[in-house]
């Protein structure tokens, strides 16, 4: 399992070998989203799948990938589309591996939160990078770097990791401390990210549904927010996405091809040439893959998550953040969060409860009832009990 622990710890890492091709350029400008890259986490996932192979690949994954093929075949630029298709295959295989082996996640996730939070705090005080790119892919930023105040993963990935940790205490009655939340909340505050704080504050799932509906129905009319440059650009990107979908409603403009064709739908003024996908994953799916691809995404999501599981898992948080940015589908960090959230599906989580004063209480499991002392769990007041508890597979418990 050490390979899986390392993958979890390296989720925020950007360390990769990039392979710029002719298809990576748009009008002479190199676009990050079009560059094929081999990440360190890709290598680790490959080793994981080789050393501990998957027994069976679910039919839902093949159906999903099949429904994405039209957006690859009819794409304006095939190379970025093919690369993205294989990226979804990789993530799908990782999800399948997690479903079959149900690995524990708390310790590497906690280590990642603490390490990345301390790194972010250090960067803020230093007003720049601390170590450089070869230290797990840390970008060489300074306070004068254009757009440095725009947060990518800190406003979302950190919040989601905090939500996983909040759900990751496996025994009702074990006291939870604020230390982990506090160390993660500090860099979240320093991002000054509106979407990150909204995700932290919103708890009602129906608000997510309403926000998605409003975004899809009225997103192109957000130009009244134009006085703020960020809102203005997002509004223009939204209008472009809607126009792309109208032009090619069935197959879209092509998987991972938004930035390839966006110049045909308008120009976004900025200090440098602005070539980014629409900041909304739902519009991105519709514009790039059309109705066929959107059907594939919807089918895969519904196959892997029941309504009850959705209400009780952090999936809604990533879906909410997807209203304001594209990174859950475009960046390696965002793509790797989906498999981690899969560990918290309620379909794999029996209910665990124990009176605080009874070390031999019984735990209700879907198939059997087992005494606590046979599970390796100790009294919550006993030293080291939390450390022993978190060694159990997270996927086998229901959290709160």
Higher pLDDT, 214 or 272: 272
Q: What residues pair up with 362 in beta bridges, in sequence order?
A: 371
Share of the chain above pLDDT 90, in %: 36
pLDDT band of 84, cuts 50, 70, 90: very high
Model confidence at 21: pLDDT above 80: yes
pTM tops 0.85: no
d(CA 314, CA 341): 7
Q: What length does the chain have?
A: 400
Higher-pLDDT residue of 254, 366: 254
Percentage with pLDDT > 70 across the chain: 57
pLDDT recorded at residue 155: 43
pLDDT (average), residues 277-303: 93
The predicted structure's pLDDT at residue 146: 55
C-alpha distances in angstroms, 247 versus 49, 240, 296? 40, 11, 20
Number of H helices, E strands in the chain: 17, 6
Tell me the sheet residues that pair with 363.
370
Q: How far apart are CA 72 and CA 293, in angstroms?
A: 10
CA separation for the pair 81, 76 (Å, rounded): 9
Residue of higher predicted confidence among 274 and 136? 274
Of 280, 289, 277, 285, the C-alpha closest to 211 is 280
> Quick one: CA torsion of 26, 65, 6, 16, rounded to 10 degrees?
-20
Residue with tokens 């080793």: 47
CA–CA separation, 6 and 31 (whole Å) = 29
Look at 36-40, 89-93, 175-179, 195-199 and tell me which has the smallest mean pLDDT.
175-179
- Least confidently predicted of 97-106, 109-118, 231-240: 109-118
Average pLDDT over residues 227-247: 85
* 306-330 tens-digit pLDDT: 555 555 566 777 787 888 889 899 9
How many other C-beta atoms lie within 10 A of the C-beta of residue 18?
12
DSSP 8-state symbol, 367: S
pLDDT at residue number 271: 65
Sorting pLDDT into bands at 50, 70 and 90, what band is 57?
A: very high
Q: In angstroms, rounded to a whole number, what is the distance separating the alpha carbons of residues 251 and 257? A: 12
- Where are any strands of DSSP class E within the chain? 16-18, 25-26, 29-30, 37-39, 362-364, 369-371
Residue 294 has pLDDT above 90, yes or no: yes
Sign of torsion over alpha carbons 30, 34, 35, 40 = positive
pLDDT at residue 376 in the model: 38
Q: How far lies 315's CA from each of 66, 107, 117, 208, 278, in Å?
A: 24, 20, 22, 11, 21
Q: How far apart are CA 302 and CA 321, in angstroms?
A: 19
The two three-digit tokens of residue 361, written as one number: 């209480």
Cβ neighbours, 10 Å, residue 396: 16
């Amino acid at each position: 399992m050490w390979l899986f622990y390392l993958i979890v710890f390296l989720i925020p890492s950007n360390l990769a070998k990039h392979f710029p091709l002719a298809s990576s350029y748009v009008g002479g400008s190199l676009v990050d989203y079009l560059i094929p890259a081999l990440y360190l986490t890709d290598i680790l996932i490959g080793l994981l799948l080789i050393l501990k192979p998957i027994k069976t690949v679910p039919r839902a994954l093949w159906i999903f990938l099949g429904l994405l093929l039209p957006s690859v075949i009819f794409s304006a630029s095939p190379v970025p589309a093919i690369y993205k298709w294989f990226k979804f295959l990789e993530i799908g295989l990782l999800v399948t591996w997690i479903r079959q082996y149900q690995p524990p996640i708390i310790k590497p996730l906690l280590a990642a939160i603490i390490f990345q939070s301390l790194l972010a705090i250090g960067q803020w005080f230093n007003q720049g990078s601390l170590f450089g790119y070869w230290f797990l892919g840390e970008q060489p930023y300074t306070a004068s770097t254009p757009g440095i105040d725009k947060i990518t993963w800190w406003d979302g990935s950190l919040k989601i990791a905090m939500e996983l940790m909040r759900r990751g205490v496996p025994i009702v009655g074990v006291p939870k401390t604020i230390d982990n939340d506090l160390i993660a909340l500090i860099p979240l505050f320093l991002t000054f990210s509106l979407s990150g704080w909204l995700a932290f504050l919103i708890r009602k799932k129906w608000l997510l549904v309403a926000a998605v509906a409003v975004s899809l129905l009225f997103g192109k009319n957000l130009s009244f927010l134009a006085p703020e440059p960020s809102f203005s650009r997002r509004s223009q990107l939204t209008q472009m996405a809607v126009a792309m979908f109208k032009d090619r409603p069935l197959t879209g403009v092509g998987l991972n091809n938004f930035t390839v064709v966006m110049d045909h739908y308008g120009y976004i003024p900025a200090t440098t040439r602005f070539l980014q996908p629409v900041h909304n994953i739902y519009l991105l799916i519709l514009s790039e893959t059309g109705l066929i691809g959107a059907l594939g995404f919807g089918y895969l999501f519904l196959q892997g998550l029941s309504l009850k599981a959705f209400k009780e898992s952090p999936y809604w948080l990533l879906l909410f953040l997807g209203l304001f940015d594209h990174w859950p589908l475009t960046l390696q960090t965002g793509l790797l969060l989906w498999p981690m959230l899969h560990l918290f599906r309620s379909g794999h989580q029996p209910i665990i409860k124990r009176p605080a004063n009874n070390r031999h209480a019984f735990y209700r499991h879907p198939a059997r009832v087992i005494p606590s002392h046979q599970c390796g769990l100790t009294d919550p007041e006993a030293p080291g009990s939390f450390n022993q508890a978190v060694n159990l597979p997270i996927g086998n418990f229901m959290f709160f």
